[in-house]
Amino acid sequence: MKLLAIETSTPGSSVALVEDGSTLAAASRIDRMGHATFLVPAIDFCFDQVGWSPSALDAVVVDIGPGLYTGIRVGLATAQGLAAAFGIPVIPAVSLDAIALEARTGHRLIWTVVDVRRGEVAIARYRPVPGGVVREGSLELVGPEVLAAQLDSSPDESLVVGDIGALPDGLLLGLHRVKTGRPRYPYAVALAEAARARFERGDFPAPDEIRPLYLREPDVTINWAKLRQEGPWGSD
Protein backbone atom coordinates (compact mmCIF):
# COMPACT_ATOMS: atom_id res chain seq x y z
CA MET A 1 0.00 0.00 0.00
CA LYS A 2 1.64 3.21 -1.22
CA LEU A 3 0.28 6.45 0.21
CA LEU A 4 1.03 10.12 -0.29
CA ALA A 5 0.02 12.14 2.79
CA ILE A 6 -0.57 15.89 2.48
CA GLU A 7 -0.75 18.23 5.50
CA THR A 8 -1.42 21.91 4.80
CA SER A 9 -4.21 22.79 7.24
CA THR A 10 -1.87 24.55 9.69
CA PRO A 11 1.36 26.57 9.48
CA GLY A 12 3.21 23.25 9.84
CA SER A 13 2.96 21.99 6.27
CA SER A 14 4.33 18.52 5.49
CA VAL A 15 4.14 15.70 2.97
CA ALA A 16 5.19 12.07 3.25
CA LEU A 17 5.41 8.95 1.13
CA VAL A 18 4.53 5.86 3.16
CA GLU A 19 4.51 2.21 2.10
CA ASP A 20 2.91 -0.42 4.34
CA GLY A 21 3.43 1.70 7.43
CA SER A 22 7.05 2.65 6.69
CA THR A 23 7.94 6.27 5.94
CA LEU A 24 10.14 6.40 2.84
CA ALA A 25 10.42 10.18 2.37
CA ALA A 26 9.06 13.29 4.05
CA ALA A 27 9.40 17.06 3.87
CA SER A 28 8.08 19.80 6.14
CA ARG A 29 8.10 23.56 6.63
CA ILE A 30 6.52 25.98 9.10
CA ASP A 31 5.02 28.95 7.26
CA ARG A 32 1.53 30.31 7.85
CA MET A 33 1.22 31.76 4.35
CA GLY A 34 3.40 29.54 2.16
CA HIS A 35 1.33 26.40 1.59
CA ALA A 36 1.04 26.77 -2.18
CA THR A 37 4.74 27.45 -2.74
CA PHE A 38 5.75 24.56 -0.49
CA LEU A 39 3.43 21.77 -1.55
CA VAL A 40 4.26 20.83 -5.14
CA PRO A 41 8.05 21.12 -4.78
CA ALA A 42 7.85 19.05 -1.57
CA ILE A 43 5.82 16.33 -3.29
CA ASP A 44 8.24 16.28 -6.23
CA PHE A 45 11.17 16.06 -3.80
CA CYS A 46 9.65 13.04 -2.06
CA PHE A 47 8.93 11.28 -5.36
CA ASP A 48 12.52 11.90 -6.46
CA GLN A 49 13.88 10.52 -3.18
CA VAL A 50 11.91 7.30 -3.50
CA GLY A 51 11.96 6.92 -7.28
CA TRP A 52 8.19 6.81 -7.63
CA SER A 53 5.86 8.65 -9.95
CA PRO A 54 2.31 9.63 -8.93
CA SER A 55 1.00 6.68 -10.97
CA ALA A 56 2.53 4.31 -8.38
CA LEU A 57 0.25 5.57 -5.60
CA ASP A 58 -2.65 3.57 -4.19
CA ALA A 59 -4.25 6.59 -2.49
CA VAL A 60 -3.72 10.16 -1.33
CA VAL A 61 -4.36 11.15 2.29
CA VAL A 62 -5.17 14.81 2.91
CA ASP A 63 -5.98 16.85 5.99
CA ILE A 64 -9.38 18.48 5.44
CA GLY A 65 -9.24 20.56 8.62
CA PRO A 66 -10.08 22.23 10.81
CA GLY A 67 -7.40 24.83 10.32
CA LEU A 68 -6.47 27.64 7.95
CA TYR A 69 -8.81 28.21 5.02
CA THR A 70 -6.14 28.75 2.39
CA GLY A 71 -3.99 25.85 3.50
CA ILE A 72 -6.91 23.42 3.60
CA ARG A 73 -8.09 24.27 0.10
CA VAL A 74 -4.57 24.10 -1.36
CA GLY A 75 -4.04 20.60 0.04
CA LEU A 76 -7.47 19.31 -0.90
CA ALA A 77 -7.35 20.69 -4.44
CA THR A 78 -3.95 19.06 -4.97
CA ALA A 79 -5.17 15.72 -3.62
CA GLN A 80 -8.28 15.82 -5.79
CA GLY A 81 -6.21 16.72 -8.83
CA LEU A 82 -3.97 13.70 -8.27
CA ALA A 83 -6.99 11.45 -7.74
CA ALA A 84 -8.62 12.62 -10.96
CA ALA A 85 -5.43 12.30 -13.00
CA PHE A 86 -4.43 8.82 -11.79
CA GLY A 87 -7.73 7.21 -10.78
CA ILE A 88 -6.90 6.75 -7.11
CA PRO A 89 -8.96 7.43 -3.97
CA VAL A 90 -8.60 10.35 -1.59
CA ILE A 91 -8.75 9.52 2.12
CA PRO A 92 -9.78 12.54 4.22
CA ALA A 93 -8.10 13.00 7.60
CA VAL A 94 -8.77 15.40 10.48
CA SER A 95 -6.02 17.62 11.86
CA LEU A 96 -7.09 17.14 15.49
CA ASP A 97 -7.07 13.35 15.10
CA ALA A 98 -3.55 13.36 13.67
CA ILE A 99 -2.21 15.50 16.52
CA ALA A 100 -3.77 13.21 19.12
CA LEU A 101 -2.43 10.09 17.44
CA GLU A 102 1.12 11.44 17.51
CA ALA A 103 0.74 12.61 21.13
CA ARG A 104 -0.66 9.35 22.54
CA THR A 105 1.13 8.39 25.69
CA GLY A 106 0.33 7.23 29.20
CA HIS A 107 -3.11 7.50 30.70
CA ARG A 108 -3.94 11.19 30.36
CA LEU A 109 -6.94 12.41 28.42
CA ILE A 110 -5.57 14.16 25.34
CA TRP A 111 -6.99 17.55 24.34
CA THR A 112 -5.93 18.74 20.89
CA VAL A 113 -5.98 22.39 19.83
CA VAL A 114 -5.86 23.93 16.35
CA ASP A 115 -5.87 27.69 15.82
CA VAL A 116 -8.62 28.77 13.41
CA ARG A 117 -8.09 32.51 14.01
CA ARG A 118 -10.74 35.11 14.84
CA GLY A 119 -10.02 34.41 18.51
CA GLU A 120 -11.23 30.81 18.35
CA VAL A 121 -9.65 27.36 18.47
CA ALA A 122 -10.89 23.96 17.32
CA ILE A 123 -10.61 21.33 20.03
CA ALA A 124 -11.34 17.64 20.59
CA ARG A 125 -10.75 15.11 23.37
CA TYR A 126 -9.19 11.65 22.99
CA ARG A 127 -8.77 8.63 25.24
CA PRO A 128 -5.55 6.63 24.77
CA VAL A 129 -6.19 2.97 23.91
CA PRO A 130 -3.83 0.17 22.90
CA GLY A 131 -2.53 1.03 19.44
CA GLY A 132 -4.01 4.49 19.21
CA VAL A 133 -6.63 6.90 20.52
CA VAL A 134 -10.42 7.15 20.52
CA ARG A 135 -12.17 10.49 20.17
CA GLU A 136 -14.63 11.31 22.94
CA GLY A 137 -17.42 13.63 21.85
CA SER A 138 -17.43 15.87 18.81
CA LEU A 139 -15.11 18.52 17.43
CA GLU A 140 -15.80 21.93 18.96
CA LEU A 141 -15.09 25.53 18.04
CA VAL A 142 -14.56 27.56 21.22
CA GLY A 143 -12.90 30.61 22.68
CA PRO A 144 -9.77 30.05 24.78
CA GLU A 145 -11.61 30.81 28.03
CA VAL A 146 -14.14 28.07 27.29
CA LEU A 147 -11.31 25.60 26.74
CA ALA A 148 -9.76 26.58 30.07
CA ALA A 149 -13.11 26.15 31.84
CA GLN A 150 -13.60 22.70 30.31
CA LEU A 151 -10.13 21.62 31.37
CA ASP A 152 -10.63 22.95 34.87
CA SER A 153 -13.91 21.07 35.29
CA SER A 154 -12.64 17.78 33.87
CA PRO A 155 -12.05 15.04 36.48
CA ASP A 156 -9.33 13.48 34.30
CA GLU A 157 -5.64 14.18 34.25
CA SER A 158 -5.25 15.95 30.92
CA LEU A 159 -2.57 16.56 28.31
CA VAL A 160 -3.06 19.58 26.03
CA VAL A 161 -1.26 19.43 22.69
CA GLY A 162 -1.42 21.27 19.41
CA ASP A 163 -1.19 25.00 18.78
CA ILE A 164 -0.90 26.02 22.43
CA GLY A 165 1.00 29.11 21.32
CA ALA A 166 -2.28 30.48 19.94
CA LEU A 167 -3.74 30.59 23.45
CA PRO A 168 -3.42 33.70 25.64
CA ASP A 169 -0.31 33.77 27.81
CA GLY A 170 -0.90 32.12 31.16
CA LEU A 171 -4.29 30.71 30.25
CA LEU A 172 -3.45 27.20 31.44
CA LEU A 173 -1.31 28.19 34.41
CA GLY A 174 -2.73 27.04 37.72
CA LEU A 175 -5.04 24.45 36.23
CA HIS A 176 -4.73 21.29 38.27
CA ARG A 177 -4.26 17.93 36.54
CA VAL A 178 -3.30 19.69 33.27
CA LYS A 179 0.01 19.36 31.41
CA THR A 180 1.02 20.59 27.96
CA GLY A 181 3.07 18.79 25.33
CA ARG A 182 3.82 18.17 21.66
CA PRO A 183 3.28 18.07 18.73
CA ARG A 184 2.22 21.60 17.93
CA TYR A 185 1.01 20.79 14.40
CA PRO A 186 -0.27 17.64 12.69
CA TYR A 187 2.33 15.73 10.67
CA ALA A 188 1.83 13.98 7.35
CA VAL A 189 3.20 10.69 8.69
CA ALA A 190 0.51 10.66 11.39
CA LEU A 191 -2.14 11.36 8.73
CA ALA A 192 -1.00 8.27 6.85
CA GLU A 193 -1.16 6.19 10.01
CA ALA A 194 -4.66 7.40 10.77
CA ALA A 195 -5.81 6.65 7.21
CA ARG A 196 -4.34 3.16 6.87
CA ALA A 197 -7.27 1.30 8.41
CA ARG A 198 -9.77 3.25 6.28
CA PHE A 199 -7.89 2.30 3.13
CA GLU A 200 -7.84 -1.36 4.08
CA ARG A 201 -11.62 -1.25 4.66
CA GLY A 202 -12.23 0.63 1.43
CA ASP A 203 -13.84 3.34 3.55
CA PHE A 204 -13.48 6.51 1.53
CA PRO A 205 -15.85 8.78 -0.41
CA ALA A 206 -15.60 9.76 -4.05
CA PRO A 207 -12.78 12.32 -4.39
CA ASP A 208 -15.05 15.08 -5.72
CA GLU A 209 -17.43 14.65 -2.77
CA ILE A 210 -14.83 15.54 -0.14
CA ARG A 211 -15.19 19.00 1.36
CA PRO A 212 -13.15 21.02 3.87
CA LEU A 213 -13.95 20.73 7.55
CA TYR A 214 -13.95 24.39 8.52
CA LEU A 215 -16.43 24.24 11.47
CA ARG A 216 -17.68 27.65 10.32
CA GLU A 217 -18.42 29.44 7.07
CA PRO A 218 -15.31 30.35 5.06
CA ASP A 219 -14.40 33.93 4.29
CA VAL A 220 -14.49 33.24 0.55
CA THR A 221 -16.42 31.01 -1.82
CA ILE A 222 -14.16 28.47 -3.50
CA ASN A 223 -14.55 27.23 -7.06
CA TRP A 224 -13.43 23.64 -6.42
CA ALA A 225 -13.75 22.51 -10.06
CA LYS A 226 -11.52 25.36 -11.24
CA LEU A 227 -8.92 24.68 -8.55
CA ARG A 228 -8.72 21.01 -9.51
CA GLN A 229 -8.38 21.83 -13.21
CA GLU A 230 -5.66 24.41 -12.60
CA GLY A 231 -3.68 22.20 -10.18
CA PRO A 232 -0.33 20.74 -11.23
CA TRP A 233 -1.88 17.34 -11.96
CA GLY A 234 -5.19 18.59 -13.35
CA SER A 235 -6.79 17.25 -16.47
CA ASP A 236 -6.32 20.35 -18.62
Q: How many helices (H) and strands (E) does the chain have?
A: 6, 10
Contact 175, 152 (CB under 8 A): yes
Confidence class of residue 128 from pLDDT cuts 50, 70 and 90? very high
Q: What pTM does this model have?
A: 0.88
CATH superfamily of 95-180: ATPase, nucleotide binding domain (3.30.420.40)
Residue ranges of domains in the chain: 2-94+186-230, 95-180
Q: Could you report the per-residue pLDDT of 41-82, keeping only the tens digit for each?
A: 999 999 999 999 999 999 999 999 999 999 999 999 999 999
Give Cβ neighbours of residue 140 (< 8 Å, ≥ 6 apart): 122, 123, 124
Q: What is the pLDDT of residue 140?
A: 96
Confidence class of residue 114 from pLDDT cuts 50, 70 and 90? very high
Confidence class of residue 231 from pLDDT cuts 50, 70 and 90? low
Say if 2-94+186-230 and 95-180 have the same CATH topology. Answer: yes
CATH class of 2-94+186-230: alpha beta
Highest mean pLDDT range out of 13-17, 29-33, 223-227? Answer: 13-17
216: which DSSP letter? Answer: S
